[in-house]
Amino acid sequence: MARIDLDHIRHSYLPNATREEHFALREVHHSFEDGGAYALLGPSGCGKTTLLNIISGLLKPSHGKLLFDGKDITRLSTQERNIAQVFQFPVIYDTMTVYDNLAFPLRNRGVPEAEVNHKVRETLDMIDLVDWAKRKARGLTADQKQKISLGRGLVRSDVNAILFDEPLTVIDPHMKWVLRSQLKQLHRRYGHTMIYVTHDQTEALTFAEHVVVMYDGQIVQIGTPAELFEQPRHIFVGYFIGSPGMNFLPAEIEGRAAKIGGQRIELPGAPALNGGKVELGIRPEYVRVGREGMPVSITRIDDVGRHKVLRADLEGQAIAAIVGEDAEIPAEPRIRFEPAGINIYADSWRVEMQGGPASHGGKGG
Amino acid sequence: MDKTWNNKAWFLVLPVLVLVAFSAVIPLMTVVNYSVQDTFGNNQFFWAGTEWFEELLHSDRFWAAMGRNLIFSFIILAIEVPLGIFIALNMPRKGWGVPVCLVLMALPLLVPWNVVGTIWQVFGRTDIGLLGYTLNAIGIDYNYVRDPFDAWMTVIVMDVWHWTSLVVLLCYAGLVSIPDAFYQAAKIDGASRWSVFRYIQLPKMQRVLLIAVLLRFMDSFMIYTEPFVVTGGGPGNSTTFLSIDLVKMALGQFDLGPAAAMSLVYFLIVLLLSWVFYTVMTNYDAER
């Protein structure tokens, strides 16, 4: 187990990358603490798999250094790094038994057979496949195969980190929950550093203590699930996390108030602006519908089961609000914004508000 | 579930039945018919019973040809399968090399059998052939017309040249279907080059290899044109394989009865051996 430092890592798949858009990974400077559970979240093509492959050593970064426990390992091969990786599609050696699959990484490293046996039995127990040890791996279900892939990492006691590359893609929905909670349990009991790549926000938010949100080759925010929900640092995080995503409305700022069209909204503090396009961000969860506030015209109501999603038009801007299942919607609906849920963005990045209440909100995602 | 019965549907399979009847069933039955009769020409036939079969199974000539053919098939498989795998493993997986290699590999397969024979017949000649002349010029006594060993070598090298590509292409198809993640996982697990081959590549190639072995076995066991063009079955009878022998008997000597009996036995042997190969390899597959 180790602490992983990414020191100004940049990567391009092109041999002579000069322009910014040539880089799949623009600049990543970040540390993964020893024993942490991290999720790398982002849409397809944002560079998260590139970053993962750089950590595992399958790719060499074009610029920057990679350190495990302070030791520069940028030039080391995958084997020498002692990491484990679970891929999107289960990788198993299907002519071997489950037992031999788990023993494979140890035998390759010349571990004595007695110790192999001990470690494999222990790992079989951890991943709950003791009864399957003698079976050929090819007959197993997808989730069992994924557990074997994971087991091949867990079996090595010296493994620095376990990397997951969208590991639940091919797993049935009801097994996803089971596997995810087993994974969390393993993490709590054995404390491996785990980095989990996914484009599924639920997966990221339930698995990880820290979620690293990536967009367009950059890390846009690192935070706990609650932080990502309450204070997205970048409008992308607002869109990407939450269902539906955050509302963004073009606004003009006048001291401690924001103007959206003809409407004036009091802010908890004065935003520290220095130019750029200003937007007001508010999660649908913080939009209150009632008889007071700004008049809106409702365009659609979607009933999603536990609550309703209301789509409305405010001063020519589309806005979504979440209302309770039994909530009554007045004939002439008006909305107001919960002050704690308001964030102000300039050129897509969040700006702090001065003189307001403490910035850490209470409600979780 | 209620199924609709409509006997008119049989007309839909009729074209295939007619085609198969004319291309396979009727000719085969003709052969069966010949095999139990004797003729002296004039389209007059006499019942011979199992005489031809008994004669055949006691004929040294038949067993000698059979022995030669089995040895030939065995050598062909022993060379072409490992060589094919080796070439497939070393072929590029991406870039401009892929189409180049594929075209090069496909070329020998596109050459007609008798042309392959003619090419090697000329190539190996000691007076004008590049191979034959060069070998003799550097002091190796090579003459496929006189020396049985040289004749065998020529026929084998020719078959390897002609058909290894088939094994290569089949194996290559199996190899490119392996996702990159397998190789990456193997790297992470610290697997050696041999382990990667043994536990990832070979299992993925197993199915196509089964097809390759079957095809190569059947083809080499029935080989006719190329050795006929190059050596004509000689020197002596040293490269007279079953099908060459059969043609000699049927067309050369016009012994329709014995030739028909031999055809049937030959057909059954090919069928039986293919079945054995297939069963052994699929059982092995299921067991693992």
- Of the candidates A83, A89, A93, the beta carbon closest to that of B188 is on A83
Asked if A175 contacts A143 with a C-beta cutoff of 8 angstroms, the reply is yes
Q: What is the pLDDT of residue A1?
A: 66
List the structure tokens of B251: 């067309």
Domains of chain B are: 60-287 (1.10.3720.10)
Across B13-22, B35-44, B142-151, least confident range? B35-44
Q: What is the pLDDT of residue B284?
A: 67
Q: What is the pLDDT of residue B75?
A: 93
What amino acid occupies position A278?
Answer: V
What is the spatial distance between Cα A356 and Cα A227, in angstroms, rounded to a whole number? Answer: 17
Contact A108 B191 (CB under 8 A): yes
For residue B71, the Cα-to-chain-centroid distance in whole angstroms is: 13
Q: Which residues of A touch B189 (CB under 8 A)?
A: 104-105, 108, 152
What is the spatial distance between Cα A215 and Cα B275, in angstroms, rounded to a whole number? Answer: 58
Q: What is the pLDDT of residue B50?
A: 80
Q: How close B181 gets to chain A, by Cα (Å)? A: 7
Interface A:B, Cβ pairs < 8 A: 54
**pLDDT above 90 (res B86):** yes
Name the residue among A332, A250, A249 with its Cα closest to residue A298.
Answer: A332
Contact A56 B184 (CB under 8 A): yes
What is the spatial distance between Cα B168 and Cα B82, in angstroms, rounded to a whole number? Answer: 10
Contact B184 A58 (CB under 8 A): yes
Q: Which residues of B touch A105 (CB under 8 A)?
A: 188-190
Asked if A10 contacts A62 with a C-beta cutoff of 8 angstroms, the reply is yes
Q: How close A79 gets to chain B, by Cα (Å)? A: 5
What is the spatial distance between Cα A285 and Cα A247, in angstroms, rounded to a whole number? Answer: 10
Domains of chain A are: 4-230 (3.40.50.300), 245-354 (2.40.50.140)
Confidence of residue B87 (pLDDT cuts 50, 70, 90): very high
Here the contacts of A292-298 (C-beta below 8 Å, separation 24 or greater) are A292/A334, A292/A336, A293/A334, A293/A335, A293/A336, A294/A260, A294/A263, A294/A334, A294/A335, A294/A336, A295/A332, A295/A333, A295/A334, A296/A333, A296/A334, A296/A335, A298/A329, A298/A333
Asked if B174 contacts B205 with a C-beta cutoff of 8 angstroms, the reply is yes
What is the spatial distance between Cα A335 and Cα A265, in angstroms, rounded to a whole number? Answer: 11
**Buried b or exposed e, range A125-160, using 16+ CB within 10 angstroms:** ebbebeebeeebbeebeebbbbbbbbbbbbbbeebb
The set of residues, in sequence order, having a beta carbon less than 8 Å from that of B234 and lying 6+ positions away, is: B145, B151, B240
pLDDT digits (tens, 9 = 90+) for B27-85: 888 888 888 888 776 677 777 778 788 887 888 888 888 888 889 999 999 999 999 99
Question: For all residues of chain B together, what is the average pLDDT?
Answer: 84
List the structure tokens of A210: 């820290």
Contact A95 B288 (CB under 8 A): yes
Q: What was the ipTM of the complex prediction? A: 0.73
pLDDT digits (tens, 9 = 90+) for A12-71: 888 777 777 778 888 888 888 888 888 888 888 888 888 888 888 888 888 888 888 888
